[in-house]
Amino acid sequence: MQITSKTGALGLIGHPVAHSKSPDMMNRACEYLGLPFVYLAYDVDPAQLEQAVAGMKALKFRGFNVTIPHKVTIMNYLDELDDSAKEIGAVNTVVQNGEKWVGHNTDGVGYLRSLTEEIPIELSEQKVVMLGAGGAARAVGYALATAGVKRITIANRTKQKAEKLAHHLSKWTEIQVVDLAAADQEIAKATLLINTTSVGMEPKITETPIPTDWLHENLIVSDLIYHPKETALLCAAKKCGARVHNGMGMLVHQAAIAFEIWLGKKAPIQLMREVLESSLA
Ligand code: ATR
C-alpha cells in the first residue's frame, strides 16, 4: 500500500519488541481491507513510557498495542479504562477517543473467541481447572468468570497468588483453590483444563505443568502457549483422546479485537492466522 500524507498511525510499544508478529499481522490486515494505516513496533524504555505515550497522542496515533513490560504501568498515563482493563489490571490495547486515551484488554475475550470458535462448547456447562495465577490467568479467568462459567478451580505453584486471584474472580462466579500438587482429583472431574503457566514454552519444550497421567479423554485441554504450537501437555492430551486447543488462536483474536476497536471494521481473521502461522513455522 502506498504511504501518503494521509496515512494513519498504529503501533506496538514494548521492551523488547523485535520478536513481535503483530506488525506483520496488522499491516497485512490493513492492506487486505484497503485501510490507510501503518503499524510499527516501538521499543520503549520503561523510563520513557510517559513521553512515548504523550508523543503518540501529539502525533495523533489512532491507537496502539502494549506488551511486556508496560501492560500495567501504562495505566498511569491513560485517561480512561474499560471494564476489561480495570478488572484484569492490565492494558494491551489503547485507542484515541477524541482527546482521550482509552485502555482496553482484549486478551481474555480473544481467548474465549478462539476457544469457542475451535471447539463449540456451552461455557456454563464446563467444569474448569485453570493452572497458573499470573497475568494471563487474570485475563482468561476474568473472561470465563464473566461469560457464564459456574465454577473455576485454580491451581498455582505459589498458592498465595491463586488465592488472591480467586478472591478477585469470586465477584462473578464460584472459585476454589487447590494445591498444584493435589490438582489431580479436580482434574479427574473437569471438562476443561487450561494451562496459563509458561511451563512447556520454548526452549523447555519437554516440560509439563502437571503429570500427564492426570489427563483423560473427557477433557478439553487448552494451552495458552503458541510456541511450540503443540506443547508436551497438548501432545499427551491428544494421545489419551482429549480434545486440544493451542495458544495461536488467542494471539490472532486478541489482535483482531484490537483492530476492530481502532478501525471499526471486522478483522480478516483467516488472513491474520495464516500470517502468524507462516511467521512461526
Ligand atoms: P504471564 O503474564 O504470562 O501469565 P506471569 O504473570 O509471570 O506471566 O505468570 C507465570 C505463571 O506461570 C505463574 O502462575 C507462575 O507460577 P508462580 O505464581 O508460582 O510464579 C507459573 N509458572 C512459571 N514457571 C513455573 C514452573 N516452573 N512451575 C509451575 N508454574 C510455573
Question: Which residues belong to CATH 3.40.50.720 in the chain?
Answer: 108-246
pTM above 0.90, yes or no: yes
Distance 223 CA to ligand 1 centre (A): 13
Beta bridge partners of 102: 80, 95
**Three-class secondary structure assignment of the chain:** CCCCCCCEEEEEEECCCCCCCHHHHHHHHHHHHCCCEEEEEEECCHHHHHHHHHHHHHCCCCEEEECCCCCCHHHHHCCEECHHHHHHCCCCEEEEECCEEEEECCHHHHHHHHHHHHCCCCHHHCCEEEECCCHHHHHHHHHHHCCCCCEEEEEECCHHHHHHHHHHHCCCCEEEEEEHHHCHHHHHHCCEEEECCCCCCCCCCCCCCCCHHHCCCCCEEEECCCCCCCCHHHHHHHHCCCEEECCHHHHHHHHHHHHHHHHCCCCCHHHHHHHHHHHHC
Structure confidence at residue 280 (pLDDT): 85
Calculate mean pLDDT across residues 139-165.
Answer: 98
Contact 260, 277 (CB under 8 A): no
Q: In testing the pocket of ligand 1, which one of 161, 194, 197 has its CB within 8 Å of the most ligand atoms?
A: 197
Annotation says 86 is catalytic: no
Q: Above 80 in pLDDT, residue 1? A: no
Q: Above 90 in pLDDT, residue 206? A: yes
> For atom 9 of ligand 1, which residue has the closest CA?
134
CA-nearest of 66, 63, 69 to 46 is: 69
- Cβ neighbours of 185 (radius 10 Å): 11
> For atom 18 of ligand 1, which residue has the closest CA?
158
**Band of residue 213 on the pLDDT scale cut at 50, 70, 90:** very high
- Cβ neighbours of 270 (radius 10 Å): 9
Distance 134 CA to ligand 1 centre (A): 6
Structure confidence at residue 267 (pLDDT): 98
What's the CATH architecture for 8-105+252-280? Answer: 3-Layer(aba) Sandwich (3.40)
- Give the cell for residue 56: 503518540
Q: What is the mean pLDDT of the chain?
A: 97
Question: Which residues belong to CATH 3.40.50.10860 in the chain?
Answer: 8-105+252-280
Spatial separation of the C-alpha atoms in residues 71 and 136, rounded to whole Å = 12
**Band of residue 281 on the pLDDT scale cut at 50, 70, 90:** confident
Which atom from ligand 1 is nearest to the alpha carbon of 161? 18
> For atom 31 of ligand 1, which residue has the closest CA?
197
> For atom 27 of ligand 1, which residue has the closest CA?
199
Calculate mean pLDDT across residues 266-273.
Answer: 98
Which atom from ligand 1 is nearest to the alpha carbon of 197? 12
The 10s digit of each residue's pLDDT in 114-137 is 999 999 999 999 999 999 999 999
Distance 77 CA to ligand 1 centre (A): 27
Q: Above 90 in pLDDT, residue 243? A: yes
- CATH number for the region 108-246 comes to 3.40.50.720
Which atom from ligand 1 is nearest to the alpha carbon of 180? 29
Calculate mean pLDDT across residues 97-112.
Answer: 97
Q: In testing the pocket of ligand 1, which one of 72, 195, 198 has its CB within 8 Å of the most ligand atoms?
A: 198
The fraction of the chain above a pLDDT of 90, given in percent, is: 98
Q: Please tell me which residue in 6, 57, 71, 161 is annotated as part of the active site.
A: 71
**Band of residue 57 on the pLDDT scale cut at 50, 70, 90:** very high
Structure confidence at residue 51 (pLDDT): 98
Which residues have C-beta atoms less than 6 Å from ligand 1? 132-137, 156-158, 161, 196-199, 209
